[in-house]
Amino acid sequence: MKKLLPSLIAVKKIKSQVPRDRFPAEDLESAAELSLAANGLINPIILRRTSLQSYEVVDGHFEYYIAVRAREIDPRQGETIGAFILEPSNSEAILEQVKALRQEVNIPPVDPPEHSMETVTEMAVTALSEEIKQIKCLVKNLETSFQEKVEFLTQKIETTSVEQKILVGIEKMFDRKLEALRNEVKTGSESKAATSKTSYRKMTVGELKALAKKQGISGYSRMKKAALIAAIQKVSPPRVQTSGFAVSPPGVPPNS
């Protein structure tokens, strides 16, 4: 037969149905100091399981609150307490001992557990199943959040690629427009120059000299018609009207 031995149980996992104020605070204080000095209580308490990780005091409420106060004074040294755990194989015998040994104590022992070990096990399994369900829900939420972030980044990359293509297309279109404008200016300039030269040739020498005088060309009086035309064109190069604004040939400022 297995020998009955106490176990070390974490004080924080134990509850008592007896209020703490049933015991004088000074008695708990002095007993807690003695417990810490001796590195433990000499009298193990009796517990029953309420779940896989929690217990309730059946006998030894005073000793339990001594351990609670010791833990308050020194959390590390007072972390555990010696206790006998009620099991299906020994619960009846232990409770009979409690009745026999605690008759002089005014506080009666707690009634035997209402639930069988099978019921306690079922309660523990139910609690564990609920925890697993919560963990699964958390994992699902994390997966959904991760998927949403991946989709957002994918859309962002695709949008950036489209914007880059649009910018490249606008740049190419601008280059084509600029090149067409330059060709238009060049063609218009050449056409204007030819037209202006033709109109100057229709003028008489006297009209050309008058125009040369007005433009301040020196030595115009001794020039012939061809020289006058060349001098006038040099001083007043043709201007081309394109797309609503005037464009002068390169290197020549526009006349007002």
The predicted-structure confidence for 177-195, as pLDDT tens digits, reads as follows 888 888 877 776 665 556 5
> Is residue 169 domain-shared with residue 92, that is, in the same domain?
no
> Is residue 105 domain-shared with residue 161, that is, in the same domain?
no
Give me the pLDDT at residue 14, please.
96
Is 125 within the bounds of a domain?
A: no
> Is residue 153 domain-shared with residue 196, that is, in the same domain?
yes
Alpha-carbon distances, residue 152 vs 1, 14, 146, 158 (angstroms): 66, 50, 10, 10
Mean pLDDT of 166-180: 88
Is 68 within the bounds of a domain?
A: yes
Give me the pLDDT at residue 247, please.
43
Phi, psi angles (nearest 5°) of residue 193: -60, -45
| Structure-token pair, residue 138 | 């958390």
Is 238 within the bounds of a domain?
A: yes
Is 119 within the bounds of a domain?
A: no
> Is residue 238 domain-shared with residue 188, that is, in the same domain?
yes
Residue with tokens 């218009």: 188
Phi, psi angles (nearest 5°) of residue 45: -95, 170
- The closest of 97, 71, 74 to 84, measured between CA atoms, is 97
Is 134 within the bounds of a domain?
A: no
Domain CATH for 22 = 3.90.1530.30
Per the structure, the complete domain to which residue 173 belongs is given by 143-247
Residue with tokens 């000095």: 37
Give me the pLDDT at residue 241, please.
43
| Structure-token pair, residue 186 | 């060049």
Q: Which residue has the higher pLDDT, 161 or 42?
A: 42
> Is residue 105 domain-shared with residue 152, that is, in the same domain?
no
> Is residue 230 domain-shared with residue 180, that is, in the same domain?
yes
Packing angle of the helix pair 61-73, 25-38 (nearest 10 deg)? 70
SS3 of residue 254 by DSSP: coil
Query: What pTM value is reported for the model?
Result: 0.41
Mean pLDDT of 137-147: 86
> Is residue 157 domain-shared with residue 239, that is, in the same domain?
yes
Alpha-carbon distances, residue 169 vs 156, 158, 164, 166 (angstroms): 20, 17, 9, 5
Burial of 217 (0-12, 13-18, 19+ CB in 10 A): buried
> Is residue 21 domain-shared with residue 88, that is, in the same domain?
yes
Q: Into how many domains does the chain fold? A: 2
Angle at 62 between CA 30 and CA 76, to 5 degrees: 65
